[in-house]
């Protein structure tokens, strides 16, 4: 997996995104959109730790994905995530297309590159809410990019929903140390 992933990562900077960038906050026409969030800590002091776990791809690793990245998640960086056992690992190359970086909200959005089974964008944001704690929100819009993803229909959406749930719980576990 790592040789194939590394090859994709090495080419990623030359590839164009596989979807139209959205403006105004709404997804492009024909894309499925969703939003999920979870309180990962009741203590706002855990914000910095949560951001560190997110930016270093530990959330993705904690969700059970393999990760080959060219550095921390920052605008312009690239990552190839893998899901599934060898030799059937499905690789998904992405480019970080946006940073969110202010005192109470931090995270990034990445977009799909050729070779990803979906087309679209996913945003991961950690938010510190005074008196409420630390929340992790994931928003995304996507549609199938490959024949197997199209044929997978509801199964493809189920996998996406399960991975999203695993991201949310991975950050909560990482912040709590369990």
For the stretch 63-84, pLDDT in tens is 999 999 999 999 999 999 999 8
> Over pLDDT 90: what percentage of the chain?
78
pLDDT of residue 23: 62
Reported as type and span, the H/E element at residue 62 is helix 58-62
**Cβ neighbours for 80, distance < 8 A, ≥ 6 positions apart:** 5, 6, 8, 9, 12, 67, 68, 69, 91, 92, 93, 94
pLDDT of residue 124: 98
Q: CA-based diameter of the chain, in Å?
A: 47
pLDDT of residue 92: 95
Q: Go through the domains of the chain in sequence order and give each one's CATH number.
A: 2-20+28-176 (3.30.530.20)
The C-alpha atoms of residue 60 and residue 53 are separated, in whole angstroms, by 9
pLDDT of residue 38: 97
pLDDT of residue 121: 96
Helical ranges in 56-142 per DSSP H: 58-62
Contact between 63 and 167 under an 8 Å Cβ cutoff? The reply is: yes
Confidence at 39, pLDDT banded by 50, 70, 90: very high
Contact between 91 and 113 under an 8 Å Cβ cutoff? The reply is: no
Would the pLDDT of 35 be above 80? yes
Taking only the tens place, the pLDDT of each residue in 120-166 is: 999 999 999 999 999 999 999 999 998 888 888 888 888 889 999 99
The C-alpha atoms of residue 16 and residue 55 are separated, in whole angstroms, by 23
Would the pLDDT of 24 be above 70? no
pLDDT of residue 85: 84
The model's pTM is: 0.94
Residues in the chain: 178
pLDDT of residue 49: 97
The C-alpha atoms of residue 37 and residue 136 are separated, in whole angstroms, by 5
69's tokens = 């990245």
Q: How far is the first Cα of the chain from the last one, in angstroms, to the nearest whole number?
A: 28
Count Cα atoms within 13 angstroms, Cβ side, for 108. 23
């Amino acid at each position: 997996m790592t040789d194939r992933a590394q090859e994709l990562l090495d080419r990623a900077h030359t590839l164009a995104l596989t979807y139209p960038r959205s403006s105004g906050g709404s997804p492009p026409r024909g894309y499925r959109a969703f939003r999920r969030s979870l309180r990962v800590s009741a203590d706002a002091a855990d914000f910095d730790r949560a951001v560190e776990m997110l930016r270093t791809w530990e959330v993705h690793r904690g969700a059970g994905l393999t990760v080959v990245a060219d550095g921390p998640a920052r605008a312009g960086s690239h990552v190839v995530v893998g899901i599934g056992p060898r030799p059937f690992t499905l690789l998904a190359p992405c480019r970080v297309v946006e940073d969110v970086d202010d005192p109470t909200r931090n995270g990034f959005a990445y977009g799909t590159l050729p070779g990803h089974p979906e087309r679209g964008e996913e945003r991961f944001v950690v938010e510190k809410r005074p008196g409420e704690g630390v929340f992790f929100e994931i928003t995304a819009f996507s549609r199938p990019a490959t024949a197997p993803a199209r044929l997978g229909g509801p199964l493809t959406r189920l996998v996406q929903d399960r991975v999203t749930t695993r991201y949310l719980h991975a950050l909560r576990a990482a912040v709590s140390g369990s």
